[in-house]
């Protein structure tokens, strides 16, 4: 057995059955080992390493398991960088494996040498460079442990070619991982819990502000138990969408820049903010000084560094959200907040999410109809931009891990590979990608991957012939000087779909939306791409301009009577 | 003793390649200051000790410590704020010592309990070593400033807390 074979065996021991990647010189020994049909790991060849990383992310976000991507040294490795950066900001469990030039050549500017450990140091949870083939099983074990525990994140394993080829004397994989500098298991502290219960007991206008941490630990049941018992309305960040069923009367949809008016007003007036698995991101808080200025804060977080980072919390519970919510649901007495609930319902009536149904095709309509047709059950991947916000606002999410989106880094091009990664994990489920013409063109080559590996997904491409989100900012804040945002009418997406063996449809009228969606749903032998052509002047509302506060929220203009 | 908002912390790390880059990179990336840094071996060959002097208010210091703790190779961190420390820095100062001022320099050296470690008469230079806490080294350097200081090198601070407790 050599290092590469030990690597593959160790991956198998971690339960890995699929890897996304592209090979090359320094990765050849690893590919040789992977190529052995005995090992039971499927390798999916993508068309760009960035997509390999996003596929691993999509797989991980949809399943909660560690996603694995693989690339060769130099350009292969650097192509992974965007995906790794994406994974650290959204706390996605991922192991990225890179080939490296032989140890004897490291530091010599050898062919396809890049110091990927150095390049990625600021964007990984941890990284390893294998220096001895005998260490590989342990490194793999530690990498998976680190990637998947505590606050999840990406871990890099760099494998020099000579190490991959060196003989392994004995395959030893530790049963238990012990890393003295890493202790991710913290249990909720009883006195903090008691203080939290006191605050909850006395709160009159409490709000649960929940996010990615609740999704990643699948604490939706515990959340619901607490919310229902204490009658506290819930707002879910972009990363937390699906933590509560949007049909639940306590759900207030999303907070923040493009959140609902009623969620933002509720936060404004709240006297207690129970923040669970959230990091007070500036897209949510805007101006921190004015965010929830009347509220005390209980912060439930697994990463101590997030507590008091952006907002000082009166009570902090450093624990897994699932444990903390379970305990809180148990300890908190039942309560009713009729007046507060009525107030929120009234705001919601006054200012629901809506759009101007003016007889033209609207992207929001597409999402709304899709939500109805799929009964809110589909896996939804998005790219980044206006379409992403409309998907977050208008799709009726029901469960965690349903929305696969790039929140922290906001990576255009994330969507298609992420959708494919989710389809790999759940071949029987309906997987949709909501994308824009800008984002889609950043990784559209992966249509080939969908074809070759028979991963039929459904793509709703919102074509506004522009980088819509940027255009919106230029309209609102930069004198309508449209600079560098036009995407003229190339390619022909129907032909493009056809060229990749997918079904392409084009829709321009509102009445054709539903039939096209239905046709896509009924087509399961290949990927369907529907191009929805809509006007570039459509804006995402509500909008709290960057760095401002709820007082500055701009609302969807009412239709002129 | 030290400047307001100045903190000394000891970061105990795995003695592995790349650890220094991880720690110093974190300071740079998150906009934390490093006033001085000393990396050294410890009583345990697997552990290195980084003594870092940094500036920031309490909340910044809290972030620095928490973010450092997230590095897998960081084992423990000791925050020495308000602790009863023994702290030392060393400076070597090369001065141009003429016949006229040589005795004054030597006198000052004695007063500060510094030491002349080299004299090169041919080109009228001497190298003085001072070891002490930051204030003492600062004061000595200030005193020498009126002479012709040719070169100066100073280590980062190292520190231990008095008593049996591990720090
Ligand atoms: C164009 C665009 C617009 C956006 N607009 C909005 C917007 O209007 N509203 C909005 O909400 N977002 C918006 N976002 C997303 C935003 O940038 C952030 O990604 C998002 O708000 C962060 O979500 P979060 O606070 O839930 O934290 P995440 O990034 O999901 O982080 C999860 C937090 O939970 C913690 N955690 C992890 N696991 C656990 C566990 N087991 N137990 C407890 N804690 C845990 C982590 O340590 C971390 O602090 C937008 C993004 C883009 C690209
Ligand atoms: C890789 C990358 N480059 C640039 C940006 C900045 N950016 C944010 S949204 C956006 C426009 C997205 O356009 P499109 O995908 O067509 O979506 P739309 O907003 O039109 O729905 C751009 C350029 C980004 N988020 N990611």
DSSP A65: S
Q: Give the list of residues 6+ apart from residue A481 with CB closer than 8 angstroms, or none.
A: A474
Contact between chains at B70 and A303 (C-beta distance less than 8 A):
yes
Tell me which of B72, B73, B77 to substitute to probe the interface with A (most A C-beta atoms closer than 10 Å). Answer: B72
Q: Which two tokens stand for residue A164?
A: 């991959």
Shortest Cα distance, chain B CAs vs residue A82, angstroms: 17
What CATH number corresponds to the domain at position A520? 3.40.50.970
CATH at residue A218: 3.40.50.1220
Contacting residues of A for B14, CB less than 8 Å apart: 181
* Chosen from A117, A182, A280, A313 to mutate, greatest number of chain B CBs within 10 A: A182
A141 touches chain B (CB under 8 A): no
pLDDT of the residue at B3:
67
- Chain B residues in contact with A122 (beta carbon < 8 A): 25-26, 29
Question: What residue owns the CA closest to ligand 1's atom 27?
Answer: A278
Distance A62 CA to ligand 1 centre (A): 16
Mean pLDDT of chain A: 97
Residues from B contacting A (CB-CB < 8 Å) are: 13-14, 17-18, 21-22, 25-26, 29, 59, 62-63, 66-67, 69-76
Which residues on chain A are in Cβ contact (under 8 Å) with B72? 125-126, 146, 179, 181-182
Distance from B63 to chain A by nearest Cα, in Å?
Answer: 6
Q: Whose CA is nearest to atom 4 of ligand 2?
A: A412
Residue A151 shares a structural domain with residue A260: no
Which residues does a 6 A CB cutoff place in the pocket of ligand 1? A 90-91, 151, 211-213, 216-217, 237-240, 254-259, 277-279, 281, 283-284, 300-303, 306, 320-321, 384, 388-389, 407-408, 410, 469
Residues in chain A with CB shorter than 8 Å from the CB of B59 are 308, 312
Tokens of A136: 């590989």
Shared domain check, A299 and A261: yes
The residue behind tokens 């080559």 is A445
Domain edge (last residue) among A320, A350, A380: A350
pLDDT at position A209 is: 98
Crossing angle, helix A321-331 and helix A190-202, to 10 degrees? 60
* CA A210 – CA B3 distance, rounded (Å): 41
Pocket test for ligand 2, best of A363, A382, A384 (most atoms within 8 A of CB): A384
Please indicate if any CB of chain B lies within 8 Å of the CB of A135. no
- One domain for residues A15 and A98: yes
Element (H, E) at A368: helix A363-373
Q: How far does residue A514's CA lie from ligand 2's centre (Å)?
A: 26
> How many A from CA of B108 to the centre of ligand 2?
66
How many angstroms away from the CA of A158 is the closest CA of chain B?
Answer: 13
Are A370 and A343 in the same domain? no
A547 within some domain: no
**Quick one: A224 and A278 in the same domain?**
yes
pLDDT tens digit string along B104-159?
999 999 999 999 999 999 999 999 999 999 999 999 999 999 999 999 999 999 99
Centre of ligand 1 to C-alpha A58, Å, is: 16
Determine the pLDDT at residue A21: 98
d(CA B161, CA B8): 11
Best mutation site among A439, A463, A489 for ligand 2 pocket (most ligand atoms within 8 Å of CB)? A439
Asked if the structure places residue A182 within a domain, the reply is no
Whether A121 and chain B come into contact, CB under 8 Å, resolves to: yes
Q: How many CA atoms lie within 13 A of A170 on its CB side?
A: 2
pLDDT tens track for A73-104: 999 999 999 999 999 999 999 999 999 999 99
pLDDT of residue B2: 55
Q: Tell me how many residue pairs between chain A and chain B have CB atoms under 8 A apart.
A: 38
DSSP A444: G
Residue A301 CA, ligand 1 centroid: distance in Å:
12
Nearest C-alpha in B relative to A115: B18
Domain housing A291: 190-350
Task: From chain A, pick out residues whose CB is under 8 angstroms from the CB of B13.
Answer: 181
Each residue's pLDDT tens digit, A314-361: 999 999 999 999 999 999 999 999 999 999 999 999 999 999 999 999
Show which of A132, A165, A198 is a domain's final residue: A165
- A399 lies in a domain? yes
> Å from A50 to nearest chain B CA?
24
**Is A372 found in the same domain as A294?**
no
Reported as a single tens digit per residue, the pLDDT across A116-159 is: 999 999 999 999 999 999 999 999 999 999 999 999 999 999 99
Instruction: Encode pLDDT of A150-195 as tens digits.
Output: 999 999 999 999 999 999 999 999 999 999 999 998 899 999 999 9
Reported residue count of chain B is 167
Task: Give chain B positions within 8 Å (CB) of A121.
Answer: 18, 21-22, 25
Q: Are residues A99 and A242 in the same domain?
A: no
Q: Which of A350, A374, A394 marks a domain boundary?
A: A350
Each residue of B33-57: pLDDT tens digit? 999 999 999 999 999 999 999 999 9
A58 phi and psi angles, rounded to 5 deg: -60, -45
Region A55-64: what's the mean pLDDT? 98
Q: Please count the other Cβ atoms lying within 10 Å of the Cβ belonging to residue A405.
A: 24
Q: Which of A126, A303, A305 sits opposite B72 (nearest CB)?
A: A126
Tokens of B111: 């007063």
* In-domain check, residue A255: yes
Tens of pLDDT, residue by residue over A282-313, are 999 999 999 999 999 999 999 999 999 999 99
Identify whether A180 is part of a domain. no
Pocket test for ligand 2, best of A238, A381, A383, A385 (most atoms within 8 A of CB): A385
* pLDDT of residue B1 exceeding 60: no
CB count within 10 Å of CB A247 equals 10
A378 and A509 in one domain?
yes
- Residue carrying structure tokens 């200025």: A293
Q: Are A194 and A334 in the same domain?
A: yes
Is residue A555 a part of any domain in this protein?
no
Residue A1 Cα to ligand 1 middle (Å): 43
Same domain, A284 and A319: yes
Beta strands in B42-165 (DSSP E): 47-55, 74-79, 85-96, 115-120, 125-132, 148-154, 158-161
Per cent of chain B over pLDDT 90 is: 92
Task: Say yes or no: A304 contacts chain B, CB-CB below 8 A.
Answer: yes
The answer to whether position A20 is within a domain reads: yes
What's the rounded Cα separation, in Å, for the pair B140 and B149? 12
Of B143, B109, B111, the closest CA to residue B128 belongs to B109
Report the alpha-carbon distance of residue A248 to residue A250 in Å, rounded.
5
- Among candidates B143, B118, B113, which has minimal Cα distance to B130? B113
Per-residue pLDDT, B167: 73
Alpha helices in A231-360 (DSSP H): 261-269, 282-285, 321-331, 338-350
Query: Does residue A323 lie within any of the structural domains?
Result: yes
Residues A216, A307 within the same domain: yes
**CB contact (8 A) between residue A181 and residue B22:** no
pLDDT in tens, A451-491: 999 999 999 999 999 999 999 999 999 999 999 999 999 99
**Atom number in ligand 1 closest to CA A240:** 26
Whether residue A74 sits in one domain with residue A41: yes
* Domain total in chain A: 3
Full-model pTM: 0.97
Percent of chain A with pLDDT over 70: 99
Q: Which domains does chain B have, with CATH numbers?
A: 6-82 (3.30.70.260), 86-159 (3.30.70.1150)
Asked if A216 and A64 touch (Cβ cutoff 8 Å), the reply is yes
* DSSP per-residue letters across A297-335: EEEEES-GGGTTTSS--SEEEES-HHHHHHHHHHHSPP-
**Residue B161 backbone dihedrals phi, psi, to 5 degrees:** -90, 140
Tell me the mean pLDDT in the region A49-61: 98
Please give all residues whose beta carbon lies within 6 A of any atom in ligand 2, as ranges: A 383-387, 410-413, 436-439, 462, 464, 466-470
| Residues in a beta bridge with A432 | A380, A458
Pick A121's closest partner by Cβ from B21, B69, B76.
Answer: B21
């Amino acid at each position: 057995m050599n290092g590469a074979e030990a690597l593959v065996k160790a991956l198998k021991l971690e339960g890995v059955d699929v890897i996304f990647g592209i090979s090359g010189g320094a990765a050849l020994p690893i590919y040789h080992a992977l190529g052995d049909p005995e090992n039971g790991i499927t390798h999916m060849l993508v068309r760009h390493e960035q997509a390999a990383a996003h596929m691993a992310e999509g797989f991980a976000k949809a399943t909660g398991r560690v996603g694995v991507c693989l690339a060769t040294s130099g350009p292969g490795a650097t192509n992974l960088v965007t995906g790794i950066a994406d994974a650290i900001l959204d706390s996605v469990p991922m192991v990225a494996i890179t080939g490296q030039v032989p140890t004897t050549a490291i530091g010599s500017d050898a062919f396809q040498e890049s110091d990927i450990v150095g390049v990625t140091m600021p964007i990984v949870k941890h990284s390893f460079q294998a220096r001895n083939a005998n260490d590989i099983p342990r490194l793999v074990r530690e990498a998976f442990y680190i990637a998947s525990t505590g606050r999840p994140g990406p871990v890099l394993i760099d494998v020099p070619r000579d190490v991959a080829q060196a003989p392994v004397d004995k395959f030893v994989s530790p049963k238990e991982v012990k890393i003295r500098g890493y202790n991710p298991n913290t249990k909720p502290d009883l006195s903090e819990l008691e203080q939290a219960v006191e605050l909850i007991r006395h709160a009159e206008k409490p709000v649960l502000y929940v996010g990615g941490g609740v999704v990643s630990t699948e604490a939706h049941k515990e959340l619901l138990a607490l919310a229902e018992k204490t009658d506290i309305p819930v707002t879910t960040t972009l990363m937390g969408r699906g933590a509560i069923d949007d049909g639940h009367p306590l759900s207030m949809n999303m907070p923040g820049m493009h959140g609902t008016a009623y969620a933002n007003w509720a936060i404004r007036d709240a006297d207690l903010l129970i923040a669970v698995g959230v990091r007070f991101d500036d897209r949510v808080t805007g101006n921190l000084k004015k965010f929830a200025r009347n509220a005390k804060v209980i912060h439930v977080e697994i990463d101590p560094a997030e507590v008091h980072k952006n907002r000082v919390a009166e009570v902090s519970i450093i624990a897994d959200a699932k444990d903390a919510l379970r305990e809180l649901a148990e300890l908190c007495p039942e309560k009713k907040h009729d007046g507060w609930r009525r107030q929120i319902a009234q705001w919601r009536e006054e200012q629901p999410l809506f759009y101007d149904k003016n007889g033209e095709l609207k992207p929001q309509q597409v999402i709304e109809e899709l939500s109805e047709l799929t009964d809110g059950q589909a896996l939804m991947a998005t790219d980044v931009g206006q379409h992403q916000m409309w998907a977050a606002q208008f799709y009726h999410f029901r469960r965690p891990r349903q929305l696969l989106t790039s929140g922290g880094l906001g990576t255009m091009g994330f969507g298609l590979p992420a959708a494919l990664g989710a389809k790999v994990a759940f071949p029987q489920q309906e997987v949709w990608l909501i994308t824009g013409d800008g984002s889609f063109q950043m990784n559209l080559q992966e249509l080939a991957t969908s074809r070759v590996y028979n991963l039929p997904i459904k793509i709703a491409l919102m074509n506004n012939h522009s980088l819509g989100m940027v255009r919106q900012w230029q309209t609102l804040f930069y004198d309508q000087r449209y600079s560098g945002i036009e995407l003229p009418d190339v390619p022909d997406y129907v032909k493009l779909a056809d060229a990749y063996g997918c079904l392409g449809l084009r829709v321009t009228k509102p009445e054709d939306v539903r039939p096209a969606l239905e046709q896509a749903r009924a087509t399961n032998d290949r990927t369907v791409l529907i191009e929805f052509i809509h006007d570039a002047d459509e804006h995402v509302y509500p909008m709290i301009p960057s760095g401002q506060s709820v007082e500055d929220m701009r609302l969807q203009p009412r239709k002129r009577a | 003793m030290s400047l307001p908002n100045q903190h000394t912390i000891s970061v105990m790390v795995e003695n592995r390649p790349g650890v220094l880059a991880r720690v110093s990179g974190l300071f740079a990336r998150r906009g934390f200051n490093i006033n001085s840094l000393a990396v050294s071996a410890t009583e345990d060959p697997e552990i290195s000790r980084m003594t870092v002097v940094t500036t920031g208010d309490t909340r910044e210091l809290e972030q620095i410590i928490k973010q450092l703790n997230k590095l897998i190779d960081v084992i423990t961190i000791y925050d020495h704020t308000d602790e009863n420390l023994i702290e030392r820095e060393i400076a070597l100062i090369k001065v141009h010592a003429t016949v006229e001022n040589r005795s004054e320099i030597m006198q000052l050296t004695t007063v500060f309990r510094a030491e002349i470690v080299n004299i090169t008469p041919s080109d009228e230079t001497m190298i003085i070593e001072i070891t002490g806490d930051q204030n003492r080294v600062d004061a000595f350097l200030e005193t020498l400033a009126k002479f012709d200081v040719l070169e100066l090198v100073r280590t980062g601070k190292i520190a231990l807390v008095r008593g049996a407790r591990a720090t």
